[in-house]
Amino acid sequence: MSSIKYDIVKEVGIISTTTSGWKKELNIISWNNREPKYDLRDWSSEHEKMGKGITLTAEELKSLKELLNNMDI
Amino acid sequence: MSSIKYDIVKEVGIISTTTSGWKKELNIISWNNREPKYDLRDWSSEHEKMGKGITLTAEELKSLKELLNNMDI
């Protein structure tokens, strides 16, 4: 058995919640004791299960912000 | 063999590029001929290979934008 260690260092915010309680969240997470990164991911209600997601550096989050601010949404 | 069909409907923007040419991109993608969604994902230089990513609805992208604009980044 393999395992992935992770530590949710900071819960930044919730993007959406489904009727089943899963949430799309932006957190700061340390994976396998490495340097914490921003992490955009689906989670079950109490963080028991994780879904797909991606990690982002602070720089990437910043350029995502600029991109979104230049969009007509 | 299974396969996933996808169609990159619109390339919205590039968040970052690694030295190996992989890019973190925001696109609008239709997966398996379903309704197109926003998609934040790593891609090799010419979209030959895809990495991990997540799909987002327009509503989710909007609340992500608001969240990022309220952060000190």
pLDDT of residue A48: 92
- How many structural domains is chain A composed of? 1
Residue A12 Cα, gap to closest chain B Cα (Å): 8
Q: Which of A41, A28, A33, A56 is nearest to B18 (CA)?
A: A56
Q: Is B56 domain-assigned?
A: yes
**How many angstroms separate the Cα of B7 from the Cα of each of B33, B35, B40, B70?**
8, 11, 14, 33
Closest CA to A56 of A35, A71, A72: A35
The CA distance from A22 to A49, in Å, is 9
B58 within a domain of the structure (yes/no)? yes
The answer as to whether B28 is a domain residue is yes
- What residues of A are in contact with residue B53 (Cβ under 8 Å)? 52, 54
User: Cβ–Cβ contacts within 10 Å for residue B23, how many?
Assistant: 16
Residue A1 domain flag: no
- Domain-embedded: residue A23: yes
Residue B4 confidence (pLDDT): 87
pLDDT of residue A4: 87
pLDDT at residue number B65 = 98
* B1 within domain boundaries: no
B26-47, pLDDT tens digit by residue?
A: 999 999 999 999 999 999 998 9
**CATH number, domain containing residue B46:** 2.30.31.70
Its domain, for residue B36, covers 6-69
Kind of pairing, strands A37-43 and A50-56? antiparallel
Across the interface, whether the CB atoms of B67 and A16 are under 8 A apart is answered: no
pLDDT(B1) > 80:
no
The A-side interface with B (CB below 8 A) comprises 12-13, 15-16, 24, 26, 40-42, 52-54, 56-65, 67-71, 73
Quote ipTM for the complex: 0.92
Low-confidence ranges of chain A (pLDDT < 50): none
